[in-house]
Amino acid sequence: MGRAKARDFVRHLTQRVILIDGQQLGDLMTGHNVGVRLARAVEFKRLDEDIFADEE
């Protein structure tokens, strides 16, 4: 269905419908973790400075 046909179709509905494109759909899916799978995780490490604290 083309964009013009989709706009015409939803214009006649009683419910409010917001049309989005594929890029927007993908952004929403990844932003809300719907239908996605983790491909790679990045781990950040920082030095634990407490191990260098003077022991009293």
Nearest-Å Rg of the Cα atoms of the chain is 24
Give the per-residue pLDDT at 55. Answer: 63
- CA–CA separation, 4 vs 1, rounded Å? 8
Q: Which two tokens stand for residue 31?
A: 């932003």
Confidence band (pLDDT; 50, 70, 90) for 38? confident
Confidence band (pLDDT; 50, 70, 90) for 42? very high
Top-confidence residue, 28 or 50: 28
Average pLDDT over residues 23-40: 94
